[in-house]
Amino acid sequence: MPRERLSVVVTRRLPEVVETRLSELFDVRLRDDDTPMTRDELAAAMRSADVLVPTLTDKIDAGLLAQAGERLRLIANYGAGVDHIDVATARQRGVLVSNTPGVLTDDTADMTMALILAVTRRIPEGLAVMQKNEWTGWAPTALLGGRVGGRRLGILGMGRIGQAVARRASAFGMQIHYHNRRRLRPEIEESLEATYWESLDQMIARMDVISVNCPSTPSTFHLMNARRLKLMKPSGVLVNTSRGEVIDENALTRMIRAGDIAGAGLDVYEHGTQVNPRLRELPNVVLLPHMGSATLEGRIEMGEKVIINIKTFADGHRPPDQVVPAML
């Protein structure tokens, strides 16, 4: 007698090829539109499914997990970050959590370099001139930016993405420096030609560009606070493609407006879609709508990892990308 297929609920629309494959393998309930589920909808989904496939827009805390009932056995997150899921509580309730690590490393690193170039070369300002039909021709002093070659890049968080950023920046002639919880192995450090700084404060004070590539944890909340932002050079640029909570957004806004920091490139924000309106007004700030991982190839690969995690679990094995509290 064939084994009953797992019941799977997907909280957001995914690429069509991923949804099709999920439907072939499991008893899946897909989202009709691309809006986040309400808390009540999430609670209902967690009561009715064996597996929930959420995204970073779904806040799954202890209170929500308490409403899950006994059926839910796996939360197969569509994404690498799991700071929106209370992994410890899920574990206590016997619910496994998996994620999709490593898939979006290159995409996010590409976007980091794009933001560095956009800010230092004033690309959005030039684009605005063209879109407003205000260009009157080439001029020797018009829209002068800065050369990235030779600049010091300080990478905050030297995991997969940080290392991918380092390789790209090195190809542009930037000098690579980094701060990390643990120093890299000598052979990795040598291959990246990267200089390790034990003191984050000392590194920040000496860099031309700071790239934030660390995860969101209690220890990294406002890691770039007002005090540390004041350590940056007046000519310094700050780029963030990681998590918005790592930077004190209000302090950053004040300092850029005061001319204490030359500019910023942000793909993520401290309060999600509620971006500081004073930040939006600044011509030397490039703001993107969380596009760092937005490639079709990456989104499909994320879906493939979700499917592998669910399929492995259905076969009675530990999901290959299972997350445990000690990993956070």
- Taking the alpha carbons at both ends of the chain, their separation in whole angstroms is 41
In contact, 314 and 2? CB cutoff 8 Å: no
Where do the H-state alpha helices sit in 182-295?
Answer: 186-192, 200-206, 226-229, 249-257, 277-280
| 2 DSSP 8-state letter | P
Confidence (pLDDT) at 326: 54
Task: Give 111's contacts (C-beta < 8 A, 6+ positions apart).
Answer: 241, 267, 288, 291, 292, 293
Q: At 231, which amino acid appears? A: L
Task: Give 58's contacts (C-beta < 8 A, 6+ positions apart).
Answer: 11, 36, 37, 42, 84
Q: Name the residue among 323, 305, 294 with its Cα closest to residue 22.
A: 305
Token pair listed for 250: 């209000």
Model-level pTM greater than 0.85?
yes
Q: How far apart are CA 280 and CA 285, in angstroms?
A: 8
Phi/psi at 274 (5° precision): -85, 75
Instruction: Work out the number of other CB atoms within 10 angstroms of the CB of residue 203.
Output: 21
| Domain coordinates in residue numbering, the chain | 7-101+295-327, 105-287
* CATH number of this structure's domain 105-287: 3.40.50.720
Confidence (pLDDT) at 3: 61
Q: Do domains 7-101+295-327 and 105-287 have the same CATH topology?
A: yes
Task: Give 147's contacts (C-beta < 8 A, 6+ positions apart).
Answer: 120
Q: How far apart are CA 259 and CA 33, in angstroms?
A: 43
Q: How far apart are CA 223 and CA 200, in angstroms?
A: 10
Walk along the chain (328 residues) in steps of 10 and give the mean pLDDT of each run.
79 96 96 93 95 96 93 96 93 96 95 98 96 96 96 97 98 98 96 98 98 92 98 98 96 97 97 93 96 95 98 96 73
**Would you tell me which CATH number, out of the four given (3.40.50.300, 3.90.180.10, 3.40.50.720, 3.40.50.970), belongs to the domain 7-101+295-327?**
3.40.50.720
